[in-house]
C-alpha cells in the first residue's frame, strides 16, 4: 500500500464577517490553500461543507460561484459535501450544479483508501436542531455495508456526539451540534462490517473522540476566530499508509495525531447500564 495523502478544508464560510467568522478573508485563505495543495503532492481534496455564510438565494449563488472558481484552480480532484449554510437558501441540487460535482452520499476510492461521503439532511433551524430525514440512515447502512475494507466516513456534521463544553456555538446548543438520532448512527457504525475512521466539520474546532473503537476527527473552520481571535486558517492533511493514519492540522490551532489505520473491525464491550438503576458498580 502506498501513502494516500488527502488535503482537507471545511467551514470556509465565504461571505459577510460575523462576530466570530472572518468571512471576508475566506477567498484569500482558500486561494492560499489551493496554491499549497498544488505545490504539494496530494491525491485529492475533501471539502467538509459550509462553504458560505448564507444570506439569500441570489447572493448565495454568487458566493458559491466564487468558491467554486477557487476550487477549480486545484490540480487534483476535489470532493464536496454540503453543510447547513450551503442548503439554507439553496438546494443540494443547486450546489451540485454550481460545482458541477456530486454532493450527495456516495462511496469512492481516493488513492488506496475507501471513502464514504454521507450527506444526510443538514438543514438546521434554531428551533429544530438537526434531524435525519427518512432514508438517511438506510443510506449510511448500505454504503458502510458494501465493503469490509477500512473506511474513511466523511460527513459535515460530526457523528460522535462529543461534548461541546467550551464551544462558542454549541455548549448551550448541543442539539445543533449532532443529530437527534446519534444513538442509531452510532449503532450503524458499530454494526458495519468495515472498520471506520470518521471525519467531520460543523463544530468549528479540532477534536478527536473515540466511540466503540471508531476514532472521530473534526476539523476547525478555515475562518473561525472564537478560539484565538484570528482566523484559524485550518488546513487538514490526512496521510494513510498501511496500518497508520496521520492527521495534521496546520494553521493557528495546530494538531498532530497518529492513530492506527484499523485493518480489522473491533468492538468494545457494551457499557454497563446505569449504576443507579441496576445496583452494579
Ligand atoms: Fe460552519
* Spacing, Cα 274 to ligand 1 middle (Å): 35
In a domain, 272, yes or no: no
* Spacing, Cα 147 to ligand 1 middle (Å): 31
Tell me: pLDDT of 91 over 80: yes
Q: What is the CATH number of the domain that holds 256?
A: 3.60.21.10
Give residue 83's pLDDT.
98
* Spacing, Cα 90 to ligand 1 middle (Å): 16
* Spacing, Cα 202 to ligand 1 middle (Å): 4
In a domain, 278, yes or no: no
* Spacing, Cα 87 to ligand 1 middle (Å): 12
What is the rounded average pLDDT of the residues 73-87? 98
* Cα distances (angstroms) measured from residue 56 to each of 53, 75, 81, 85, 89: 10, 31, 20, 11, 6
In a domain, 260, yes or no: yes
* Spacing, Cα 126 to ligand 1 middle (Å): 14
Least confident range of 2-6, 49-53, 130-134, 275-279: 275-279
Tell me: pLDDT of 50 over 80: yes
Which ranges of the chain does DSSP label H, i.e. alpha helix?
A: 26-39, 57-72, 92-99, 136-145, 182-191, 275-278
In a domain, 274, yes or no: no
* Spacing, Cα 97 to ligand 1 middle (Å): 21
Identify the residue with better confidence: 4 or 279.
Answer: 4
Give residue 277's pLDDT.
82
Looking at residue 174, the DSSP 8-state letter turns out to be G
Give residue 278's pLDDT.
75
* Spacing, Cα 263 to ligand 1 middle (Å): 32
In a domain, 269, yes or no: no
3-state secondary structure of 199: strand
In a domain, 177, yes or no: yes
Place of cell 454504503: 143
* Spacing, Cα 223 to ligand 1 middle (Å): 9
pLDDT band, very low/low/confident/very high, at 76 (cuts 50, 70, 90): very high
Task: Show the domain range for 230.
Answer: 4-264
* pLDDT, mean over the chain: 96
| Structural domain total, the chain | 1
Tell me: pLDDT of 52 over 60: yes
In a domain, 168, yes or no: yes
Tell me: pLDDT of 280 over 80: no
3-state secondary structure of 191: helix
In a domain, 273, yes or no: no
pLDDT tens digits along 225-269: 999 999 999 999 999 999 999 999 999 999 999 999 998 999 899
Tell me: pLDDT of 139 over 80: yes
Which residues pair with residue 247 across a beta bridge?
238, 257
* Spacing, Cα 103 to ligand 1 middle (Å): 16
* Spacing, Cα 2 to ligand 1 middle (Å): 33
* Spacing, Cα 10 to ligand 1 middle (Å): 8
Amino acid at each position: 500500500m502506498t501513502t494516500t495523502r488527502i488535503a482537507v478544508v471545511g467551514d470556509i464560510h465565504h461571505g459577510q464577517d460575523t462576530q466570530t467568522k472572518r468571512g471576508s478573508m475566506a477567498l484569500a485563505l482558500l486561494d492560499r490553500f489551493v496554491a499549497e495543495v498544488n505545490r504539494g503532492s496530494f491525491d485529492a481534496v475533501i471539502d467538509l461543507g459550509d462553504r458560505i455564510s448564507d444570506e439569500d438565494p441570489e447572493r448565495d449563488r454568487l458566493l458559491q460561484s466564487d468558491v467554486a472558481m477557487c476550487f477549480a484552480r486545484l490540480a487534483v480532484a476535489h470532493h464536496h459535501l454540503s453543510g447547513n449554510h450551503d442548503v439554507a437558501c439553496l438546494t443540494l441540487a443547486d450546489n451540485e450544479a454550481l460545482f458541477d460535482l456530486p454532493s450527495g452520499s456516495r462511496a469512492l476510492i481516493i488513492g488506496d483508501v475507501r471513502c464514504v461521503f454521507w450527506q444526510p439532511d443538514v438543514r438546521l433551524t434554531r428551533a429544530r436542531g438537526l434531524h435525519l430525514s427518512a432514508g438517511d440512515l438506510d443510506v449510511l447502512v448500505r454504503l458502510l455495508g458494501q465493503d469490509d475494507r477500512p473506511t474513511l466516513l466523511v460527513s459535515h456534521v460530526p457523528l460522535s456526539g462529543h461534548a461541546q463544553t467550551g464551544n462558542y456555538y454549541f455548549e448551550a446548543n448541543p442539539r445543533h451540534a449532532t443529530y437527534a438520532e446519534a444513538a442509531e448512527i452510532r449503532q450503524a457504525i458499530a454494526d458495519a462490517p468495515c472498520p471506520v475512521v470518521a471525519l467531520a466539520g460543523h463544530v468549528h474546532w479540532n477534536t478527536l473522540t473515540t466511540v466503540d473503537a471508531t476514532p472521530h476527527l473534526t476539523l476547525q473552520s478555515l475562518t473561525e476566530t472564537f478560539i484565538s481571535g484570528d482566523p484559524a486558517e485550518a488546513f487538514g492533511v490526512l496521510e494513510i499508509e498501511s496500518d497508520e493514519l496521520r492527521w495534521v492540522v496546520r494553521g493557528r490551532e495546530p494538531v498532530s495525531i497518529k492513530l492506527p489505520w484499523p485493518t480489522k473491525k473491533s468492538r468494545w464491550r457494551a457499557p454497563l447500564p446505569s449504576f443507579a438503576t441496576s445496583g452494579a458498580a
